[in-house]
């Protein structure tokens, strides 16, 4: 018989103890403990394969487990009968864009279907539906079929359907994966408001390290185990240290020297970024300067570490080692840096009356890492398809590696490498077999194939994996193999579409180390799309797309300076009532304001006056202000500010031909 302690108002909503889940011989989750209290947003953070989904499915009552205890509302969830007892009080959003939705049904029909499943009365349904549609900005798309929604819109609709019966506990499995930063920020505002206004509790998983700050409490997961748990500030305090950032004449040489003394060193666009253990900023600068030696460098900037730095440090501590050594040096550059590798001129593409890409112009040079950023449906993928010869443009021209994209599609394919988000590998082949297969596809002879095989294994750190079946590789290793296969023919230009989705921080840093080597030493031109805003910082230049047009372009530092001139400084305020604080600040004219757990971010054009105004507005409305501090402007702040400003002006760029 299912048992459970009485569930009082102060009892935890979720209690997990010694949780263990196996899939045949594989242990997916190994001895996890956690407690989720009422009215909080609890985060499970980790890469693919960390064990997040298995734990969440067990909490939602849709997955059995092997050992331990899972209690929800004081009920031990260990049988179908127990799961039925909690089902009406839970909302479960599974991983994957729109996987809980019906493609042929419209937005409103999907909502009504889920409301019927939970027997929501008609008067309540109409009120809740109107409120949630307005909150998610989907009210104008009631009649649109789900299959025609963007990724961000699908996730918002999935959230509505999960919450339409106003559950006491929302279990949301990677709800923001693959969603653009604007939709991600909208999602967090919606969730925070529901938690604040309805007293709902949420258990949320994510692979995005930058979302860690938004949780009240969190657990870092890796390989089925918890590395650290607690409030974000507590987790950060467990790994004291600083991050030093600076530019140096020889970036690759500086990184090689620094890795002799420090565990975390990586390139960051033109800069070098180092994590230094300890609590003395002066000593941190001295140690970095000593390690760099006689290399000329800029002033060393020291700042607090991000939670991603903390997670990476914990991973390295558990492994008992430094980061893997950097990629092997490639020798002389294969291509002359500075030459134009990609030239897009007024590229335009129409689909019937819809203009997906509207007069897009940009240039990428050999040896440059160029980031193409934009919300779902902004036109990024369509631009790449035109440049690679897959899709003909309606108007405009483009050159890729010296070949005209309209007349020399075959020549372009021989000169480019392409890595999709799905990796494009044959999972039942070994590492060596995949490399040899791609070499054959590109027409390499036996001798050239053997040479490239050796280079790829050394470059991508695949030594020891040559005979391993690809489908059984860790995600980070598989991703490096995919990169190697895209480079097997020595292309001049590399196109990368969301290449690091689901990879842990160490794997992603290793991957970017490879990209930096390819660009700086081989002269390869790299065009990359990513939803990780922290990764955009690695790019030399960025183009921000919105509604088919490029609306901002420049280096990360240039884009940040532009927004700082227009919007002012970014401030972070810690309060006791974040939901009410958000509403009050927006009502007082601080329009670009976002929630981060118990914190809010907002812009001040007049630093002293606006800061004082914000504090006064909050205190007069009964909100207790714990602190207000200026913080550095991130690329996510830049992205969201740009898009929100454009939407506020309501200029419908590129919606119809001739618009």
Q: What average pLDDT does the structure give for the chain?
A: 85
Hey, is 294 helix, strand or coil?
Answer: coil
Strands 217-222 and 41-45: parallel
Judgement on whether residues 362 and 432 belong to the same structural domain of the protein: yes
- Supply the range of the domain harboring residue 291: 240-304
* pLDDT score of 651 more than 60: no
CA distance 198 to 584: 18
Closest CA to 192 of 219, 173, 213, 165: 213
Q: List, in sequence order, every residue forming a beta bridge with 526; answer none if it has no partner.
A: 369, 494
23-36 average pLDDT score: 91
User: Which residue has tokens 């253990």?
Assistant: 277
Phi, psi of 433, deg, nearest 5: -65, -40
Strands 217-222 and 225-230: antiparallel
Cα-based angle 72, 78, 80 (whole degrees, multiple of 5): 100
Judgement on whether residues 459 and 606 belong to the same structural domain of the protein: no
548-565 average pLDDT score: 91
Please check whether residue 334 lies inside any domain of the structure: no
Least confidently predicted of 21-25, 320-324, 605-609, 633-637: 320-324
Helices 446-459, 431-441: crossing angle, 10 deg rounding: 130
Contacts 24+ apart (CB under 8 A), 625-631: 625/573, 625/574, 625/575, 626/574, 626/575, 626/576, 627/572, 627/573, 627/574, 628/571, 628/572, 628/573, 628/574, 629/571, 629/572, 630/569, 630/570, 630/571, 630/572, 631/570, 631/571, 631/572, 631/601
509-521 average pLDDT score: 85
Which pLDDT tens digit goes with each residue over 380-405?
A: 888 988 998 888 999 999 999 888 88
Name the range with the highest mean pLDDT among 105-109, 317-321, 618-622: 105-109
609-628 average pLDDT score: 90
* pLDDT score of 175 more than 80: yes
Judgement on whether residues 433 and 539 belong to the same structural domain of the protein: yes
What CATH number does residue 249 fall under? 3.30.70.270
pLDDT number for residue 178: 65
Judgement on whether residues 223 and 274 belong to the same structural domain of the protein: no
Helical (H) or strand (E) element with 595: strand 594-596
Please check whether residue 206 lies inside any domain of the structure: yes
pLDDT number for residue 348: 96
User: Which residue has tokens 């893997």?
Assistant: 324
Sign of CA dihedral 147, 52, 193, 583: negative
* pLDDT score of 54 more than 90: yes
Judgement on whether residues 23 and 117 belong to the same structural domain of the protein: yes
Count of domains observed in the chain: 4
* pLDDT score of 601 more than 90: no
CA distance 264 to 316: 9
Phi, psi of 544, deg, nearest 5: -100, 120
460-471 average pLDDT score: 89
Cα-based angle 185, 46, 511 (whole degrees, multiple of 5): 90
Please check whether residue 284 lies inside any domain of the structure: yes
Please check whether residue 330 lies inside any domain of the structure: no
Please check whether residue 8 lies inside any domain of the structure: no
Outline where 199-302 has alpha helix (H): 232-237, 251-258, 281-292
DSSP annotation of 248 reads: B
Two structure tokens written together for 123: 């008067």
Judgement on whether residues 127 and 78 belong to the same structural domain of the protein: yes
Which pLDDT tens digit goes with each residue over 412-459?
A: 888 898 887 656 788 899 999 999 999 998 899 999 999 999 999 988
* CA 417, chain centre distance (Å): 23
CA distance 279 to 241: 6
Judgement on whether residues 361 and 435 belong to the same structural domain of the protein: yes
What CATH number does residue 573 fall under? 3.30.70
465-485 average pLDDT score: 86
Q: Which residues contact 540 (CB under 8 A, 6 or more apart)?
A: 269, 270, 368, 369, 370, 519, 555
* pLDDT score of 179 more than 80: no
Judgement on whether residues 131 and 187 belong to the same structural domain of the protein: yes
Judgement on whether residues 223 and 89 belong to the same structural domain of the protein: yes
Select from 192, 215, 234 the last residue of a domain. Answer: 234
* pLDDT score of 493 more than 60: yes
Select from 205, 234, 263 the last residue of a domain. Answer: 234
Please check whether residue 623 lies inside any domain of the structure: yes
Helical (H) or strand (E) element with 109: helix 107-117
Judgement on whether residues 627 and 525 belong to the same structural domain of the protein: no
Q: 490 near 414, Cβ under 8 Å?
A: no
Q: 271 near 243, Cβ under 8 Å?
A: no
Burial (CB count <10 Å: 0-12, 13-18, 19+), residue 276: buried
Select from 253, 283, 304 the last residue of a domain. Answer: 304
pLDDT number for residue 657: 37
CA distance 47 to 208: 8
Please check whether residue 512 lies inside any domain of the structure: yes
What CATH number does residue 166 fall under? 3.40.50.300
Confidence of residue 30 (pLDDT cuts 50, 70, 90): very high
Please check whether residue 409 lies inside any domain of the structure: yes
Q: List, in sequence order, every residue forming a beta bridge with 574; answer none if it has no partner.
A: 599, 627
* pLDDT score of 325 more than 70: no
Two structure tokens written together for 199: 């007293």
pLDDT number for residue 597: 61
Judgement on whether residues 43 and 125 belong to the same structural domain of the protein: yes
Judgement on whether residues 85 and 113 belong to the same structural domain of the protein: yes
Confidence of residue 513 (pLDDT cuts 50, 70, 90): confident
| Cβ density class 401-419: b for 16+ within 10 Å, e for less | bebebeebeebbbebbbbb
């Amino acid at each position: 018989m299912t048992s459970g302690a009485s569930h009082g108002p102060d009892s935890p909503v979720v209690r997990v103890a010694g949780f263990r889940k196996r899939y045949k011989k594989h242990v997916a989750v190994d001895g996890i403990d956690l407690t989720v209290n009422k009215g909080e947003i609890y985060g499970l953070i980790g890469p693919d394969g960390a064990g997040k989904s298995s734990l969440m499915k067990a909490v939602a009552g849709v997955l059995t487990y092997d050992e331990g205890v899972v209690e929800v509302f004081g009920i031990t969830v260990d049988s179908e009968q127990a799961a039925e007892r909690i089902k009406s009080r839970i909302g479960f959003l599974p991983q994957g864009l729109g996987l809980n939705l019906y493609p042929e049904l419209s937005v409103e029909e999907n909502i009504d279907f889920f409301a019927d499943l939970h027997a929501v009365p008609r008067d309540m349904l109409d009120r809740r539906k109107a409120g949630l549609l307005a909150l998610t900005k989907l009210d104008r798309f009631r009649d649109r079929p789900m299959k025609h929604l963007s990724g961000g819109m699908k996730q918002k609709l999935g959230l509505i359907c999960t919450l339409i019966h106003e559950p006491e506990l929302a279990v949301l499995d990677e709800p923001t994966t693959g969603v653009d930063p604007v939709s991600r920020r909208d999602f967090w505002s919606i969730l925070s408001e529901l938690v604040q206004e309805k007293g709902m509790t949420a258990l949320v998983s994510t692979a995005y390290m930058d979302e860690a700050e938004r949780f009240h409490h969190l657990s870092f997961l890796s390989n089925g185990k918890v590395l650290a748990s607690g409030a974000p500030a507590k987790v950060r305090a467990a790994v004291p240290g600083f991050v030093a950032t600076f530019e140096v004449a020889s970036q690759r040489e500086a990184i090689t020297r620094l890795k002799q003394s420090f565990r975390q060193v990586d390139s960051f666009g033109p800069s070098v970024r180092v994590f230094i253990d300890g609590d003395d900023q002066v000593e941190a600068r001295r140690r970095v300067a000593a390690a760099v030696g006689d290399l000329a460098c800029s002033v060393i900037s020291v700042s607090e570490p991000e939670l991603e730095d903390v997670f990476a440090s914990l991973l390295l501590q558990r492994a008992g080692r430094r980061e893997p050594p950097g990629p092997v040096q490639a020798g002389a550059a294969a291509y002359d840096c500075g030459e134009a590798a990609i030239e897009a001129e007024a590229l335009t593409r129409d689909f019937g009356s819809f203009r997906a890409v509207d007069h897009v112009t940009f240039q990428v040079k050999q040896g440059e890492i160029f980031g193409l950023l934009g919300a779902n449906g902004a036109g990024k993928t369509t631009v790449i398809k035109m440049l690679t010869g897959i899709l003909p443009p309606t108007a405009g021209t483009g050159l890729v590696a010296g070949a005209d994209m309209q007349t020399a599609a075959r020549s372009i394919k021989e000169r480019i490498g392409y890595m999709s988000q799905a990796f494009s590998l044959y999972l039942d082949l070994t590492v060596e077999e995949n490399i040899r297969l791609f070499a054959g596809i590109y027409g390499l002879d036996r001798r050239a194939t053997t040479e490239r095989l050796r280079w790829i294994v050394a470059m991508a750190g695949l030594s020891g994996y040559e005979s391993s079946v690809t489908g059984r590789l860790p995600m980070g290793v598989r991703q490096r193999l995919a990169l190697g296969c895209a480079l097997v023919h020595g292309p001049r230009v590399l196109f990368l579409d969301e290449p690091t989705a689901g990879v842990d921080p160490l794997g992603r840093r290793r991957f970017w180390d490879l990209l930096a080597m390819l660009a700086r030493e081989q002269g390869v031109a790299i065009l990359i799309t990513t939803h990780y805003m922290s990764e955009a910082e690695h790019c030399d230049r960025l183009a921000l797309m919105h509604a088919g047009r490029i609306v901002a372009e420049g280096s990360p530092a240039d884009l940040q300076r532009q927004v700082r001139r227009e919007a002012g400084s970014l401030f972070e305020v810690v309060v006791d009532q974040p939901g009410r604080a958000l509403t009050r600040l927006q009502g007082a004219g601080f329009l670009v304001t976002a929630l981060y757990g118990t914190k809010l971010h907002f812009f001040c054009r007049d630093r002293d006056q606006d800061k004082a105004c914000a504090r006064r507005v909050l205190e007069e409305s009964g909100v207790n202000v714990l602190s207000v501090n200026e913080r550095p402007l991130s690329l996510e702040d830049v992205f969201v500010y740009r898009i929100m400003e454009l939407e506020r002006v309501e200029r419908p760029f590129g919606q119809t031909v001739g618009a």
